Chains A and B, each alone.
Chain A
C-alpha cells in the first residue's frame, strides 16, 4: 500500500497532488529547486527536499536527485504530474526498479504511445481513424502526386523527421504540388538532415477534441468524455471546455469507443488522453498523452471524479471507482489558463505578484500555487493559475467565466486575464463556432 508520495513536480500541479494525498491521508514529500524555496508545494507538503539549482535539467529533470530524495525520505510512490519527467519511460522504469510505485502508466505504454509514428501505426491497427496519407515518406514526386490525388486536396507535405512547422507545405491543388514538394524537401534536408517528406490530408479548420481515458490493473478501461481544446496559440492551449459544443451524444460515444480500443491494444493503465482532430463530423487520431493533463479539472467538474485520487488508487492496484453503465456529462465546465505574460505579445512576464485576489462564489474553482508577494521565477513556464468555472449550461458557464475573470485581481505582473475576458465576448466563441485558427483571426 502507498503511504508516502513524492511529488516530482512544482507549481499548481504539485499542490493539486498534495491536496489529493491529504484527502487520502497519505504523507507527502515535495522536491524543489533553489528557485522554488518559497513555493506553496514546499510549504504544504509534510517533508521537502531541495534537489538542485534553478535550471530544470539539474533539478526537476534530474532523475538521480529525485530518486535520492525518495530514498532519504522513505517515500514509496512517485507522482510525476505533467511536463518534466511525466512522459519519460526511463524515469518510470527506474522508479519501479528502486521499489517505488510510479503513479502513471507502464514504461512500455509510455514508450509505445510516445513515438508518433508507432502510435499512428497502433491506432491504425486498432481501427481508430487516422488522417489519410502516405504510409511513411514518399520516395518520388510521382508517388506524392498519386497519394494526393487519392486522398483529395488540400494536402500537407510534412518532414518525416520534423516538427515545429519547418519542412511543411500546404497544397490547395495539383498545380501547387511541384513547388511545394521541392521546397518542403530542401527545408527538411536543411532543418533535420533528411529530405524525407510524407503526404497527409490537410484540415483547414479543425477542432482539437480529446478524450480522457482511464485504465486499471484489472484491465478495465473507461472513457470519461471529451474536452474541447481548440482555443490555442502556437500549439499552447488557452481555454478548454467540456462537453464540446460540436459533439452529439453518438459522436461522443464513437470517439470514446475508439479511444478505449486504442488503449486496449497497449493494455493501458492509469490516466491518459487521446487527442483527435475533428472537422465536418469526422475525427482523426492525432496523439496520446500518457499522463494527467493540465486541463484535467474540466473533466473532474463534469464527471464528479477526482482524477488525481483515482490515479493514486489505480497505482495502488485498486479498481476504478467509475460506475458501470451509460456515461453522461453533467453541466458544462470551462478552464482558463492564466499565464504571467503580456496578453497581446504573449511575452512572458516574471516578477513579484503585488496583489492576488481569487474569485469565488458558486461554480468557481481556482487551481494555483501563487499568492500575494510570490515571485514568479523566470526558469519555468508562465502559467500561474487555472480558473475553472462550471454551470448548468454553456451559457451559464460563460456568464460565470466573465464575472470570475472580472473579479480575478492579479497586480505586479501582466497576465492573460484581459485576453480571456475578451474571448468570452467574441460572437464566434459564444456560438461555439471554433477552429484551431481562432486566435489567428481573433481581434480585440
Chain B
C-alpha cells in the first residue's frame, strides 16, 4: 500500500462517515478511525514497526499510585501501567467488540490496551512496554483517577 492509497482511504472514511476501518495486508496493518468531522490516523504499523505515535505514552511506572487504604499488591517484578488521565476505563472500543487485551496476551510497546473516556472523548491508552498482561486492575466502565493502576505486565 503506498502513501497515495492511504490518503484515498482516509478520504473515503471521512466522506462516508465510517467509524473505523482496519486493513491488514502483507505485513502492513492500517487502522483509520473516523470522527464526525475529520478522520484521524490513529496508528499505522509497517512490518511491526510503529510509524505514527498518536498519543503520549503512559507515564513511567515509577509514578505509582495506590490509595493509602488499599492493601499493597504483590507487584514485585511486574511493570504497572498507570492511567495518564482522569476518566472512565473501558476495555474495548465499544460494548459489542472484544477487549483490546486480556490476561495472557502479549503486548508490544505502542499497542492500544484500553480507552479512557474524559469529557466525551475516547482516549486510547497504549502499552509503554513489551510484555505479557498478567493483571487488569479496574473493572470495565469503572472511573479511574490520574496515576491509578490499570495493567500489570510481565516483561
Contact = CB atoms under 8 A, between A and B. Distances in A.
A50 B63 contact: no
Given A34-B63, A49-B86, A50-B65, A65 B148 contact: no
Contacts of A59: 146
Given A34-B147, A64-B118, A64-B119, A72 B65 contact: no
Interface string A55-90: 000010000110111011100000000000000000
B147 A71 contact: no
Contacts of B148: 50
Interface string B120-155: 000000000000000000000001111110000000
A67 B87 CA distance: 9
Given A53-B146, A64-B118, A65-B118, A72 B86 contact: yes
Contacts of B147: 34, 50, 53
Interface string A14-52: 000000000000000000001001000000000001111
A68 B86 contact: yes
Given A49-B86, A64-B118, A65-B85, A72 B146 contact: no
Interface string A98-126: 10000000000000000000000000000
Contacts of B119: 64, 67-68, 71, 98
Interface range for B: 10 to 19
Nearest to B121: A64
A73 B63 contact: no
B88 interface: yes
B65 to A, nearest CB: 6
B145 A49 contact: yes
Given A34-B146, A51-B145, A53-B146, A69 B63 contact: no
Given A49-B145, A50-B146, A52-B146, A68 B63 contact: no
Contacts of B144: 72
A4 to B, nearest CB: 14
A22 to B, nearest CB: 21
Contact of B86 (A34, A37, A69): A69
B87 to A, nearest CB: 5
Nearest to B84: A52
Given A50-B86, A68-B119, A73 B143 contact: yes
A45 to B, nearest CB: 13
Contacts of B88: 71-72
A71 B146 contact: no
A67 B63 CA distance: 23
Interface string B43-76: 0000000000000000100010100100000000
Contacts of B68: 37
A51 B146 contact: yes
A53 B60 CA distance: 12
A68 B146 CA distance: 11
A372 B145 CA distance: 28
A73 B59 CA distance: 24
B34 to A, nearest CB: 22
A384 B59 CA distance: 31
Contacts of B85: 64-65, 68
A98 B118 CA distance: 12
A73 B145 CA distance: 11
Interface of A: 34, 37, 49-53, 59, 64-65, 67-69, 71-73, 98
Interface of B: 59, 63, 65, 68, 85-88, 118-119, 143-148
15 contacts: A34-B65, A34-B147, A49-B143, A49-B145, A49-B146, A50-B86, A51-B86, A51-B145, A53-B59, A64-B119, A65-B85, A67-B119, A68-B86, A71-B118, A72-B143
